[in-house]
Chain A
Amino acid sequence: MAGEKKEHELIVSVSPHVKGEETVSRIMWSVSLALLPAFLMSLYYFGPGALFVTALCVITSVLAEYLYQKALEKKITVSDGSSFLTGLLLGMNLPPSLPFYIPIAGSFMAVVITKQLFGGLGYNIFNPALIGRAFLLITWPKAMTIWKEPTAIFVALDAKTTATPLGILKEEGIGKLLEAFGDKSNLYMQLLLGNRAGSVGETSVVALLLGAAFLLYRRYITWHIPLSFLGTVALIAWVFGGKGAFFTGDPVIHLLSGGLILGAFFMATDYVTCPSIRKGQIIFGIGCGAVTMLIRLKGGYPEGVMFAILIMNCFAPLIDRAVKTVPFGTVKK
């Protein structure tokens, strides 16, 4: 391009002519940075297992993208950070103790099948990290639901396994959950800090919100999807979450547990797979929240954020088409 510029003084090009400083790679690295606090908290609670799983996912994701592009003689775009972020998100969505081949298979599924085979960054229909996790959950259901107990205060010589709060809530009810954590305020506190069993990066709500605040401040994400997502979850949890009577559920437990915060702020807001019009984003968020609660309350899995986002990913283009503003004066056919 530089050579051409010298020959032609005047360049005719389409808009936009004035460009901001933001680039794809800058956004990708910023989002990765925003995930750092949650990652550090997971190191604190889950120890070397969390580091192993996340690092393996990141390395194999980047490697998979590089090898695919090398093998097909395409432009190598590893440095834009998108495969790094995919690997990081995938790792943070996995349980902290896994045999080594599971994260590798997930990275391959996420980067090669979900992203590159559909045409690379910007063309994938589904969130790559979530497809990777869904694939792993269906393929190795046992290994993917072994949750390590956080060890920071439960000091034990060998790592114990336990159920996630949502798993306990689903199987044994809220009484058992309160028994395990003491009273309600302690339960909320531990959920906020992340002192509970779960995926590597999903547990610490405070750390995730810190990262999300950074993204909101830099305007990399807007409030539309997360707020409508969380609001719908809270509303449905409050109305239908209770035993027997309506309006007796506990929305706070549902908001703080599972992968909801990670999903709502970091996964559902993926530019490629969510609607790009604000009104559509609100519909998208409401849909995510409704499907999440449908799975949590009525489905076979204790957690539904992943499937909810994936299902709504399918609808993203349709939503965009439905809410597109009709230009003034257009006659409806």
Chain B
Amino acid sequence: MQQGTNWELIKNGMFKENTLFRMAISLCPAIAVTASMKNGILMGVAVLFVQVMVNMTVSSIRQFINPRIRLPIYMIVIAGWVSVIDMTMAAYAREAYKQIGLYIQLIVAFASILAKAESFASKNKIVPSMMDGVGMGLGFLLAMIVISFFRELLGKGTLLGLDIAGGKPLLIMVLPAGGFFAFGLLMGFFNWIDIRFFGGKGAGGAGGH
């Protein structure tokens, strides 16, 4: 059940099924770690890695999985890859890990990863599954970059730690409340672009958890 070319798969994950802006799932880290751009990017990269590896692993063992116990098996695969990225970051990115370590471990519970393992990787060959994972992961990474860009710039006046604005223009943006403001406004903005320029219907399909 291959769905279009590889490029279409990537595009689909990045835009049409964007985890944050279109499906409105996995919002917890999108609010919690986006106060600084560095953390946002690291989180996005971790999700990208897990998404791709889980899709590839599930796809490669799809013939051997007994359908009755497929969900526990997906969970073991996801937990395994999350442990890999968790330990890697704990070893090589100490400072950032202290701040976002909890959310790295929470990738286990990401709806988009389990959903893609179930709905795509278990029915497709390795390469399309990988491309689908790349698309979903890149979509998440891009969304995290956009949100954390605005929050760090407006809240701290810095970008990736470099002083840009000189001062703290809008303190609220680095607080959790500001996370919701930034996310809501950006989601609205991308909806507006979608409706205005691409004839879409706007997001909110998933109902969001």
Contact = CB atoms under 8 A, between A and B. Distances in A.
B96 to A, nearest CB: 26
B172 interface: yes
A141 B188 contact: no
A113 interface: yes
10 smallest CB-CB distances across A and B, nearest first, come from A139-B172, A138-B172, A139-B171, A139-B170, A135-B172, A138-B175, A138-B171, A138-B177, A140-B171, A117-B188
Interface in A117-175: 117, 135, 138-141
Contacts of A135: 172
B183 to A, nearest CB: 13
Nearest to A141: B171
Nearest to A140: B171
A141 B170 CA distance: 11
B170 to A, nearest CB: 5
11 contacts: A113-B185, A117-B188, A138-B171, A138-B172, A138-B175, A138-B177, A139-B170, A139-B171, A139-B172, A140-B171, A141-B171
A6 to B, nearest CB: 38
B181 interface: yes
Contacts of A141: 171
Interface of A: 113, 117, 135, 138-141
Given A138-B177, A139-B172, A141-B171, 10 more contacts: A113-B181, A113-B185, A117-B188, A135-B172, A138-B171, A138-B172, A138-B175, A139-B170, A139-B171, A140-B171
A140 B188 CA distance: 26
A139 B167 CA distance: 13
A263 B17 CA distance: 45
Contacts of B188: 117
Interface residues of B, number: 8
A138 B170 CA distance: 9
B180 to A, nearest CB: 11
Contacts of B171: 138-141
Contacts of A117: 188
Interface string B173-209: 0010100010001001000000000000000000000
A138 B181 CA distance: 13
A139 B173 CA distance: 8
Nearest to A137: B172
Contacts of B175: 138
A117 B170 CA distance: 20
A138 B172 CA distance: 6
Interface string B149-176: 0000000000000000000001110010
Interface string B19-59: 00000000000000000000000000000000000000000
Contacts of A113: 181, 185
B175 to A, nearest CB: 7
A135 B175 CA distance: 11
A281 B66 CA distance: 58
Contacts of A138: 171-172, 175, 177
A320 to B, nearest CB: 24
B19 to A, nearest CB: 23
Contacts of B170: 139
A18 to B, nearest CB: 40
A138 B177 CA distance: 10
A20 to B, nearest CB: 37
